[in-house]
Structure 1
């Protein structure tokens, strides 16, 4: 089922929060510019997130490729959209 960029972004943020090992909110993420390291995102949380993204969106994101870009909400959303291609619109 096609999903627009805003739906993907909302879903990614929801998955970031649910994969985190503690209390995290949308406002926490926004206050830190969407940078996962700034909200104490652990490597285990990150692995959970990539798995959840694959399950939710069917997008495979390789943690070893473009790890720096995948450290932000915007980077993750861009990677999901790129992986999904025309299926995302």
Structure 2
């Protein structure tokens, strides 16, 4: 089925399937999100949101993060984005 025939949720699910972009990125970089010391685990969307709420991010910054770009909205002065990984979504600028 071509991407144009898939629903939005099907296309998003495909990103994180065993043959999707997420799996390709992990294979290319040799990453395993199940490994507790891997930044995919320590800085997943859900963990970043949790650490931010608890003020546990170093200098209030995320040192490493791998995400898919779900959407981008250009404004006159900036851009607003929504990033996604298998654990959830997070907004950014």
Superposition TM-score, scaled by structure 2 size:
0.31
Q: Which has the higher helix share?
A: 1
Superposition TM-score, scaled by structure 1 size:
0.31
Q: Which has the higher strand share?
A: 2
Which structure: larger Rg?
A: 2
